[in-house]
Amino acid sequence: MPAPIVRSWGNVLTAEHRLLSVRERAADFPDIAPARSVLPFGNGRSYGDSCLNCGEALLQTRSLDRFMAFDAAAGTLACEAGVLLDEILRLTVPRGWFMPVTPGTRFVTLGGAIANDVHGKNHHRAGTLGAHVRRLELLRSDGQRLICSAERETELFAATIAGLGLTGLVTWAELQLRPIAGPMLEVETIRFADLEEFLALCAESDRTHEYTVAWIDCLGRGRSLGRGLFQRANHSSTAAAPAAAAEHLSVPFTPPFSLVNRASLRLFNLAYYHRQRGKRRRSLQHFAPFFYPLDGVRNWNRLYGPRGLYQYQCVLPGPAGRAATALLLERIARSGQGSFLAVLKQFGSAASPGMLSFPREGITLALDFPNRGEALSRLFTELDAVVRDAGGRLYPAKDGRMPGELFRSGYPRWREFARLIDPRCSSSFWRRVTEGA
Ligand SMILES: Cc1cc2nc3c(=O)[nH]c(=O)nc-3n(C[C@H](O)[C@H](O)[C@H](O)COP(=O)(O)OP(=O)(O)OC[C@H]3O[C@@H](n4cnc5c(N)ncnc54)[C@H](O)[C@@H]3O)c2cc1C
């Protein structure tokens, strides 16, 4: 029987894997023979090869799906690592608690979110998810079960947060949630003309708003370079809960060619930018469309056709970050290859707890690109040079192609981390970025 093919979210990389699964948290670490290495697999929402172990074994974790303890007075929740954030929110929101940090999709597992130390629109206030993990259990391939936290097994804790699944299997974790009055947010959307205005809005809003993010028109050039829509929001004090918009759209199969092309992009970006007539608009929004706009179209990644998509997400630190962001936007606009949603966010100064955590203080830019082969590789090489010169780094969760030296210069603690890798764990990403080093 042929080995199963597993894809990651970008659909660019597909590979045969030996699939193992873990039935319950008390189970032993599985026998992986005849594979030489194994990688825990969450819900496959990473874009590139950080969740793949091509030709080797994957350990599926979705069956670790039990809630273990929820203290509705203190807002602490312990659950197994294969539980989806969506399932957590269904339990906790009606009881007045929200995820302390959430990425832009709720269809990720808790284990996957910890292994990438995910960030959200509240990074400037809350830092990364890892800062809210009170403790976790790590199962190593030699059978050891270690409870890791900021106080116990501190080195393994710092390696496992953003540990890319390489330090062993996280079987369960305990989180500190954030109190809310209800599921609604007070949202303000503001049109901005350029990067200067974006930065001024960040400086003003970081003090007053828990969530900030901006969408930018990646096709804008000259005077339109860096224009976009800035969103800022706070949880509403109203407990009223209009029903969330039903999810009704889905892309049922991969079309034979990409529906994302220059013409559709230009139309989309223009329409999106001009959808708001006035400079400012206030609204009361349910958390689902606010945090997870893309979850409304199931399998939207299939719109990119059989060649798939890449995402490019970088962070550009310090004072050089502004000029470097402008340079990136310029290069992307000139190439005409950018995507529907280019997202810009100012990360705050909170230190990330993981040795390989992506966020650091600075500007982060994230864009999807239809896979156009050579033309896209050339553009990425140009963008990499800007990121390298600015002392920035790329996000492994979104990556499937960054050169090894860019990873190693962006993540100077990678050697310290490498010592803590479980001897039976490996990934396609890790082999690629450390090869020859
Ligand atoms: C639409 C979309 C929006 C996104 N927005 C954001 C965002 O705003 N911010 C952000 O930070 N990220 C974002 N992401 C990336 C996403 O949050 C991460 O890739 C996340 O790690 C995916 O979780 P998963 O459960 O699908 O895990 P997978 O993608 O399957 O695996 C991710 C990593 O976790 C490891 N892993 C999984 N389970 C375990 C376990 N139990 N023990 C140890 N290791 C484990 C895997 O080995 C792998 O290295 C987004 C992704 C998408 C598709």
Q: Whose CA is nearest to atom 11 of ligand 1?
A: 118
> Is pLDDT of 278 > 80?
no
- Cβ–ligand 1 distance for 169 under 6 Å, the answer yes
Mean pLDDT calculated for residue range 304-322: 93
**Is residue 297 very low, low, confident or very high in pLDDT (cuts 50, 70, 90)?**
confident
Mean pLDDT calculated for residue range 285-308: 91
Mean pLDDT calculated for residue range 135-145: 98
For 23-68, what is each residue's pLDDT tens digit? 899 999 999 999 999 999 999 999 999 999 999 999 999 999 999 9
How confident is the prediction for the chain on average, in pLDDT? 92
Q: Are 348 and 206 spatial neighbours (Cβ–Cβ below 8 Å)?
A: yes
**Is residue 246 very low, low, confident or very high in pLDDT (cuts 50, 70, 90)?**
low
Q: Whose CA is nearest to atom 5 of ligand 1?
A: 104
> Is pLDDT of 418 > 90?
yes
Whole-number pLDDT of residue 35: 96
For the entire predicted model, the pTM comes to 0.95
- For residue 165, give both structure tokens: 């699944």
Q: Are 103 and 130 spatial neighbours (Cβ–Cβ below 8 Å)?
A: no
> What is the distance in A from the centroid of ligand 1 to the CA of 281?
32
Whole-number pLDDT of residue 271: 65
- Cβ–ligand 1 distance for 167 under 6 Å, the answer no
Q: What percent of the chain has pLDDT over 70?
A: 91
Q: Whose CA is nearest to atom 51 of ligand 1?
A: 45
> Is pLDDT of 281 > 90?
yes
Centre a 10 Å sphere on the Cβ of residue 342 and count the other Cβ atoms it contains: 25
Angle at 187 between CA 181 and CA 192, to 5 degrees: 155
- The mean-pLDDT minimum among 57-61, 206-210, 221-225 falls in 221-225
> Is pLDDT of 119 > 70?
yes
Whole-number pLDDT of residue 161: 98
- Cβ–ligand 1 distance for 42 under 6 Å, the answer yes
Whole-number pLDDT of residue 3: 78
> Is pLDDT of 226 > 60?
yes
Q: Are 124 and 101 spatial neighbours (Cβ–Cβ below 8 Å)?
A: no
- Cβ–ligand 1 distance for 108 under 6 Å, the answer yes
61 Cα nearest atom in ligand 1: 41
> Is pLDDT of 276 > 90?
no
> What is the distance in A from the centroid of ligand 1 to the CA of 59?
15
> Is pLDDT of 279 > 90?
no
Whole-number pLDDT of residue 338: 77
